[in-house]
Amino acid sequence: MKFAHTSVLLAETIEQLHIRPDGIYVDGTLGGGGHAYEVCRRLSEKGRLIGIDQDADAIDAAAERLKEFADRVILVRSNYCNMRLELQKLKIDRVDGIVLDLGVSSYQLDAPERGFTYREDTPLDMRMDQRQAKTARDIVNGYTEQELYRVIRDYGEDKFSKNIARHIVAAREKKPIETTGELVEIIKGAIPARMRMNGGHPAKKTFQAIRIELNGELEVLKNSLDDMIDLLNPGGRICVITFHSLEDRIVKTIFKTNENPCTCPSNFPVCVCGNKPKGRLAVKKPIVPGEEELIANKRSKSSKLRVFERI
């Protein structure tokens, strides 16, 4: 299956990056190379784009898509949490812009063999990096009921999380849960029939939760953003596209803290903590897709773009 992914908020992201033709840019979630392609189009021969992705299929697809810019592109198979280390290997200390398009790609969702989908019956996998040993099957069959409840409650924000965890544990006592189809049926059985009629596919939130847990998505984001802001040159920007409230909350909080890091009590007349702002929010409110994009790409529905500029 061909790696295909429609880049969300593409024009808005490119506009917000304020691309300098001779600058150095990093796409930390390369995917099919949609954002990277538009960055490369605006670079001179001196400009550089470093594309990072942990998915081998994404790296291969992006290499093909970006081949006309081969002289200014470096592709790295890694997780964006290793960005500083990967840049050091390339003798790069600072960059002019960073893009993160979080979540799962259309290809990963649509390729049954990757085990992300709840629409087909396929082995439970959900690894973004297939070099990783642990899969979704290990979580579903190995976590305690309490651990499953925590994951589904915190990362899926599903009000039936306790019942879903209980049903998973009861089902696996008879036999291990091997496929996405088996898991979907168990989840359906844990949600009252009248509630399954509303709010999209009943397994969507649980699948999201297991995927986030397996790939450590929120921890990676939380532990990487400060470091990425430090990598920016003055005037450089980081653009982050999120797809659910948990990611967006992390980005919003870290950006605000870097804009106003003072920890002094509000009644202090002057700042004594010594924490200095690293930059500013380039847009006060998140940028969301327009009506045209929402019609053309239904997966853009929950996306939000936040932008931070280094000083």
Q: Which domains does the chain have, with CATH numbers?
A: 10-107+217-310 (3.40.50.150), 132-215 (1.10.150.170)
d(CA 242, CA 100): 8
Mean pLDDT of the chain: 95
d(CA 128, CA 215): 7
Give me the sign of the Cα torsion angle 9, 217, 74, 16: positive
Q: Which of residues 221 and 199 earns the better pLDDT score? A: 221
pLDDT of residue 5: 57
Please determine, for residue 63, whether its predicted confidence score (pLDDT) is greater than 80.
yes
Secondary structure class of 289 (helix, strand, coil): coil
pTM score, whole prediction: 0.93
Please determine, for residue 105, whether its predicted confidence score (pLDDT) is greater than 60.
yes
Q: How confident is the model at residue 280 (pLDDT cuts 50, 70, 90)?
A: very high
Single-letter code of the amino acid located at 124: L
Secondary structure class of 133 (helix, strand, coil): coil
In the chain, the percentage of residues whose pLDDT exceeds 70 is 98
Please determine, for residue 108, whether its predicted confidence score (pLDDT) is greater than 90.
no
Please determine, for residue 254, whether its predicted confidence score (pLDDT) is greater than 90.
yes
Secondary structure class of 101 (helix, strand, coil): strand
Q: Residue 149: which H helix or E strand, with range? A: helix 145-156
Tokens of 138: 């290990």
> Smallest Cα–Cα separation from 290: which of 277, 282, 299, 301?
301
